[in-house]
Structure 1
Amino acid sequence: MSLVRASDVAYEQLRQEIIDWVLKPGTLLGEIETAERVGVSRTPIREALTRLAAEGLVSASGRTAIVAPLSRKRVVELFELREALETQAARLAARRRDAARFAALLEEFRRGPEPGQPVDPRRPYFLANELDAAIDEAADSRYLQTALEDIRGQVARVRFHAHSNTGRLERATSEHMQIVQAILDGDETFAAQATAVHLRNSLSNVLDSLPL
């Protein structure tokens, strides 16, 4: 395994463990112990931790690194930034959209579970990721996309732990459909407003459900 590939493997594994709460906020990430667990040398681990720190998923000081803590203040600040970035992305997506892609996505959101079958809690979040990707592509703004990608790991970590509320999943799906419809209609103002409403409702749910 080359040094670069080892670093990538370590980064992807640690990032997913942080997002999935396998590594909880405040967990110490010692270089030696982490390297032994992941199965690479210390140098790739050091590089992976540097990348994770740049994403805000790890707090590092010298040779000491921990999984970044979550507090109400941090989560509120994250959502404030999301609202600024994502409402603008929605406006641009409504302006530059590929109508066929958003029409197909709307149909995906409309397809609920079969009668009598339980709701799959993973599906709404898979579709949320699909919506993020569609908006990024439609907005066609390099700098805006880079800014959004910088916080997506933190968003995914919060989203994973807060998704157990079935009622919220159903409301979030409805909110996502409003966003998609607004983009499909080319309505920049409503696309931004619907995105802001969705994010504020999501923040309220997060603050009620996360062990902060």
Structure 2
Amino acid sequence: MRVHRALRAEIIEGVLAPGASLTETEQAARLGVSRTPVREALARLVAEGLVTERGPRTLVVSSIDADDVIALFTLRRALDEQSARVAAASADEAQRATLRRLAARFTAVDPAALAAADDEGRHGYYALVAEFDAALDEATAHSPYLAAATAGARVHLARVRRLARDDDERLAASAREHAAIADAIADGDAERAAHATHLHLHHALTSILRHLKETP
């Protein structure tokens, strides 16, 4: 588990770049473990789509291109819009109160903080998004298959965010969009929540594809 978590985090953060070769021997030596846990971790990463087999005994970090991103967002639209509808319809009062607080915090996000040289603002923003995701998961906990599928998609989304570079203006807009989604769910308005989610994903996809096109 530890080896899997370590390699997974390095892939998501971009420490292990797309196309990087992953051999059992090298990773075992680097992480200070035997080859067995590395082999097991790599098998899990292949199953998650983060690592690809490129031939006999040859594994590499999976690439991400525009087609991959579009396919990911097609899946996200189906999952996230439905999650927003389910949460709006089924959240209890405590969960709605949590979402209202999150909406207020998203609204209060300072665009200047997102551009902080030490990156503290961005880390704080992503932590807030993680809180929102957790609140959404809690409100849809009675739909375990939906929650599991959504969690799988988020892993790849995190990679895409890193590869597409941070965009302060986009993050500020994203904060406003998250506030709209959280407010709609808290109000119990399923279709407004789904529509706000759709708009957020549309703007996110447009931004990511633009950044990928600009990347040499």
Question: Same fold, TM exceeding 0.5?
Answer: yes
d(CA) in 1 for partners of 2:73, 2:113: 35
* TM-score, length of structure 2 as denominator length: 0.89
**2:33 alignment partner, one of 37, 40, 50:** 40
Aligned counterpart, 2:78: 84
The answer on whether the counterparts of 1:163 and 1:169 sit within 8 Å (CA) in structure 2 is no
Partner SS for 2:52: strand
Residue 75 of structure 1 pairs with residue 99 of structure 2: no
Residue 50 of structure 1 pairs with residue 43 of structure 2: yes
Which 4+ runs in 1 deviate beyond 6 A? 114-117
Aligned counterpart, 1:132: 133
d(CA) in 2 for partners of 1:55, 1:116: 34
The answer on whether the counterparts of 2:114 and 2:122 sit within 8 Å (CA) in structure 1 is no
Aligned counterpart, 1:109: 106
Q: Where do residues 154-193 of structure 1 align in structure 2 (5 Å cutoff)?
A: 154-193=156-195
- Listed as ranges, the gaps of 5+ residues in structure 1 are 1-7
Q: Which amino acid aligns with 2:86?
A: L
Partner SS for 2:17: coil
* RMSD, aligned α-carbons: 1.9
d(CA) in 1 for partners of 2:66, 2:82: 25
Q: Please state how far the C-alpha of 1:63 moved relative to its aligned partner.
A: 2.2
Residue 95 of structure 1 pairs with residue 92 of structure 2: no
* TM-score, length of structure 1 as denominator length: 0.90
d(CA) in 1 for partners of 2:200, 2:127: 16
The answer on whether the counterparts of 2:114 and 2:172 sit within 8 Å (CA) in structure 1 is no
Describe the shift of the 1:64–1:114 C-alpha distance in structure 2 as closer, same or farther (beyond 3 A). Answer: closer
Q: Please state how far the C-alpha of 1:99 moved relative to its aligned partner.
A: 1.4
Q: Please state how far the C-alpha of 1:103 moved relative to its aligned partner.
A: 1.6
Describe the shift of the 1:114–1:81 C-alpha distance in structure 2 as closer, same or farther (beyond 3 A). Answer: closer
Q: Please state how far the C-alpha of 1:118 moved relative to its aligned partner.
A: 5.0
The answer on whether the counterparts of 1:19 and 1:154 sit within 8 Å (CA) in structure 2 is yes
Q: Please state how far the C-alpha of 1:62 moved relative to its aligned partner.
A: 4.3
Q: What are the superposed Cα offsets for residues 58-88 of structure 1, whole Å, 9 maximum, x if unpaired?
A: 1125422110001111110001001100100
Q: Please state how far the C-alpha of 1:115 moved relative to its aligned partner.
A: 8.0
d(CA) in 1 for partners of 2:28, 2:96: 47
Q: Please state how far the C-alpha of 1:104 moved relative to its aligned partner.
A: 1.8
Partner SS for 2:49: coil
Q: What are the superposed Cα offsets for residues 141-189 of structure 1, whole Å, 9 maximum, x if unpaired?
A: 1000111122221111112333521110110001001001100110000
d(CA) in 2 for partners of 1:15, 1:43: 17
Aligned counterpart, 2:24: 31
Aligned counterpart, 1:20: 13
Q: Which amino acid aligns with 2:37?
A: P
Aligned residue pairs total 205
Describe the shift of the 1:41–1:122 C-alpha distance in structure 2 as closer, same or farther (beyond 3 A). Answer: same
Aligned counterpart, 1:65: 59
Tell me which moved more, 22-31 or 96-105.
Answer: 96-105
The answer on whether the counterparts of 2:10 and 2:16 sit within 8 Å (CA) in structure 1 is yes
- Listed as ranges, the gaps of 5+ residues in structure 2 are none
Aligned counterpart, 2:123: 122
The answer on whether the counterparts of 1:58 and 1:66 sit within 8 Å (CA) in structure 2 is yes
